[in-house]
Amino acid sequence: MCKNMPPLELAIQFHGHICPGLLMGVRAAEFAQKYLDVSPDQDEELLAVVETNSCGVDAIQSILGCTFGKGNLIFRDYGKSVYTIASRDKDRAVRIAQKYQAQPHPDNVRYRELSRQGTLTEEEAAEKENLLASIFERIMTTPFEELFNWQEADFAIPEKAQIYPTVQCSICGEGVMEPRAIMNGQLYVCPTCT
């Protein structure tokens, strides 16, 4: 991925499509970066704890560089659009929580309806595109405090992700990270073979 790409572009390219959830994630990621005064992560200077696995998380990964593969994206399956971003260098963290909207904007309601529908007529496809354009405009221009709550978080940053030795499973012969292997007598067995 190109480093000079604007954050929004990075997120869209990574996520594969543009959608309201991703845009909310873009707002959260950009806010975290500014609030903590940090650059996108190279080697685990940042850590993200995300409480959802929906679209917005891809903005956190692509813009902040907190990724599943690097081990500095921690997923807590709480079903909440809440992102805690921590900086190792600054030794501080911010918890960003999307505000609950008792009455979602009618554009979003209709957009979700059309998204769920699957096959769309030409008019519906055009309607969906227009809706996305106005949702885009609204999400990207609404003052941040109307979309999210945030607070400095008391957060003990864990050690950087460890690299473990690989051992061989005695049943399938495939390699497995040592702490994930189970001992059967003197032999290692991987989780898929137990």
Residues at the site binding Zn ion, with contacts judged by CB under 5 A: 19, 22, 55, 169, 171-172, 190, 193
Residue closer to Zn ion (CB basis): 22 or 47:
22
Q: Residue 161 CB, nearest distance to Zn ion (Å)?
A: 23
Strand, coil or helix: 17? coil
Tell me whether residue 13 or residue 151 sits nearer to Zn ion (CB atom): 13
Closer residue to Zn ion (CB): 9 or 37:
9
Neighbouring CB atoms inside 10 A of 150's CB total 18
Q: What is the 3-state secondary structure (H, E, C) of 47-109?
A: EEEECCCCCHHHHHHHHHCCCCCCCCEEECCCCCCEEEEEECCCCEEEEEEECCCCCCCHHHH
Q: Which is nearer to Zn ion, 171 or 177 (CB)?
A: 171
- Min dist. Cβ of residue 131 to Zn ion (A): 14
Q: What is the DSSP letter of 154?
A: -
Q: How far is the CB of 164 from Zn ion (least distance, A)?
A: 16
CB of 19 vs Zn ion, minimal distance in Å:
3
Residue 71 CA to residue 127 CA, distance in Å, equals 40
